């Protein structure tokens, strides 16, 4: 087998994580072939703008691409797009066109897909938003006067609802939980997020799951578990994501909620790593596997895994290894650090939950494990070190 610095490496998945891994391999001095395989025909692109600027038309469609094609040519990264991987056998990868790859190392970055509504609704008026084609199809349907029902008030659902309202459309947001993002941010912070939706003119129905979606003559009808019904011209389903692991079914990898890895991305197969939305990394501090579905985690995992593929020790994390993600809704930025969803107590340490700016710190067993900020970027980030070091939870900043 060639030296790690000179062998062939196949990155399966032209995602944020996949592109970051390919770039990092070159940055670290890898001189061998790098093949980047993607199932979509497009150049690799960024997903956050799909539910925001691309949907509202405030950014140019071409700006979503992570790199221009010339970048891959300069870096010697071979793109094989529009050709999904269908099987992994050791380090041998079979593609849908019949080609067999036999690289010296494999980095799995096949991401996740949108979770459909249970039972499905095979109509083009019931859509999900995960990829570039999804966003383009949805955008084409957004004509003046369109009434839209968004099912699920998580980050994607909340962003889509906010973007559609910005376009002046009639929007109803349906959420099974008592409040939007309550599981992540806690009820008090979630109430502020709900307030922003309502103030923007969105009708919000919380605490009642959707029992069914049916075609009612000329519109979609959403039937709630409490018997209420909501009609709309279009339904956008935002119920989370499913990791794309089906092609790995016979690989021998440990697959649960994603490909289970250690804290370097290494799987149970020699020379095979997994990163990004498809991967469930072991977190030594929490003592459990966690699957992160966020941009910054994808890039951080790519950085760490690329170093280990080459037999190097990655440089210390610039973020302290603290998970981070954000969501822009109604001109406000919601940000999260660490794992607030695992907290057993919380304290407001900046601003007020009744105001338009606040930071909430979250603790577990007396130590800081997470923070959520609302229009308070600078105030939030000062707590990153406390989360990284498991500092004692203060009651006030």
Average pLDDT, the chain: 93
Judge if 257 and 186 occupy the same domain: no
Number of domains in the chain: 3
> Is 315 part of a structural domain of the chain?
no
Query: For each successive 10 residues of the chain (397 residues), what is the average pLDDT?
Result: 78 98 97 97 95 92 94 98 97 98 98 88 87 93 95 94 97 96 82 94 95 92 95 95 96 96 96 98 90 92 97 86 90 92 91 92 94 95 94 77
How confident is the model at residue 396, as a pLDDT? 58
Calculate the alpha carbon distances from 251 to 15, 25, 267, 284 in Å: 21, 25, 11, 26
> Is 190 part of a structural domain of the chain?
yes
Judge if 211 and 252 occupy the same domain: no
> What confidence tens digit (pLDDT) does each residue in 209-236 have?
999 999 998 999 999 999 999 999 999 9
Judge if 228 and 272 occupy the same domain: no
How confident is the model at residue 198, as a pLDDT? 97
Closest by Cα among 99, 101, 95, 96 to 34: 101
Judge if 70 and 57 occupy the same domain: yes
10 Å Cβ neighbour count for 229? Answer: 12
CATH of the domain at 55: 3.50.50.60
Q: Are 132 and 64 contacting, i.e. CB atoms less than 8 angstroms apart?
A: yes
Judge if 293 and 282 occupy the same domain: yes
> Is 3 part of a structural domain of the chain?
no
Q: Give the burial class of 340: count Cβ atoms within 10 A of its Cβ; 0-12 exposed, 13-18 middle, 19 or more buried.
A: buried
Domain hosting 23: range is 9-113+241-309
Scan for tokens 């692991």, then name that residue.
Answer: 245
> Is 317 part of a structural domain of the chain?
no
> Is 33 part of a structural domain of the chain?
yes
Judge if 23 and 101 occupy the same domain: yes
How confident is the model at residue 294, as a pLDDT? 87
Judge if 245 and 231 occupy the same domain: no
Which one of 237, 271, 296 terminates a domain? Answer: 237
**DSSP-derived 3-state class of residue 229:** strand
How confident is the model at residue 107, as a pLDDT? 98
> Is 153 part of a structural domain of the chain?
yes
Which one of 237, 254, 272 terminates a domain? Answer: 237
Judge if 146 and 231 occupy the same domain: yes
Q: How far apart are CA 211 and CA 305, in angstroms?
A: 42
CATH of the domain at 345: 3.30.390.30
> What confidence tens digit (pLDDT) does each residue in 179-199 have?
998 888 778 788 989 999 999
Judge if 78 and 37 occupy the same domain: yes
Judge if 247 and 107 occupy the same domain: yes
The reported pTM is 0.94
């Amino acid at each position: 087998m060639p030296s790690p610095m000179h062998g062939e490496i196949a990155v399966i998945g032209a995602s944020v994580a996949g592109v970051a891994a390919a770039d990092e391999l070159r940055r670290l001095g890898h001189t061998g072939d790098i093949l980047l395989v993607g199932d979509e025909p497009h150049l690799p692109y960024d997903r956050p703008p799909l539910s925001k600027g691309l949907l509202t038309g405030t950014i140019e469609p071409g700006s979503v691409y992570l790199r221009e094609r010339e970048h891959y040519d300069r870096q010697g990264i071979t793109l094989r797009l529009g050709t999904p991987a269908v099987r992994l056998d050791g380090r041998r990868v079979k593609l849908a066109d019949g080609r067999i790859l036999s690289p010296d190392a494999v980095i799995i970055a096949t991401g996740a897909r949108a979770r459909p509504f249970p039972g499905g609704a095979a109509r083009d008026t019931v859509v999900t938003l995960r990829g570039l084609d999804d966003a383009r199809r949805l955008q084409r349907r957004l004509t003046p006067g369109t009434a839209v029902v968004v099912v699920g008030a998580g980050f994607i659902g909340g962003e889509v609802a906010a973007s559609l309202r910005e376009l002046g459309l009639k929007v109803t947001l349906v959420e099974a939980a008592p409040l939007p993002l309550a599981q992540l941010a806690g009820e008090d912070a979630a109430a502020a997020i709900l307030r922003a939706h309502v103030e923007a003119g969105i009708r919000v129905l919380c605490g009642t799951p959707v029992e069914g979606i049916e075609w009612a003559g000329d519109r979609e009808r959403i039937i709630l578990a409490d018997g209420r019904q909501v009609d709309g011209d279009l339904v956008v389903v935002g119920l989370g994501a499913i990791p794309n692991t089906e092609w790995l079914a016979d690989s021998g990898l440990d697959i649960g909620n994603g490909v289970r890895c250690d804290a370097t991305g290494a799987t149970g197969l020699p020379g095979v790593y997994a990163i990004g939305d498809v991967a469930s990394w072991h977190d030594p501090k929490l003592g459990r596997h966690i699957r992160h579905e966020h941009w910054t985690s994808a890039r951080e995992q790519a950085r760490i895994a690329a170093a280990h593929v080459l037999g190097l020790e990655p440089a210390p994390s610039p973020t302290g290894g603290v998970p981070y993600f954000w969501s822009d809704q109604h001109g406000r930025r919601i940000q999260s650090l660490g794992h607030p969803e695992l907290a057993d107590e919380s304290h407001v340490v900046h601003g007020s939950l009744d105001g338009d700016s606040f930071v909430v710190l979250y603790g577990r067993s007396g130590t800081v494990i997470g923070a959520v900020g609302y229009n308070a970027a600078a105030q939030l980030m000062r707590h990153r070190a406390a989360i990284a070091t498991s500092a004692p939870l203060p009651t006030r900043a």
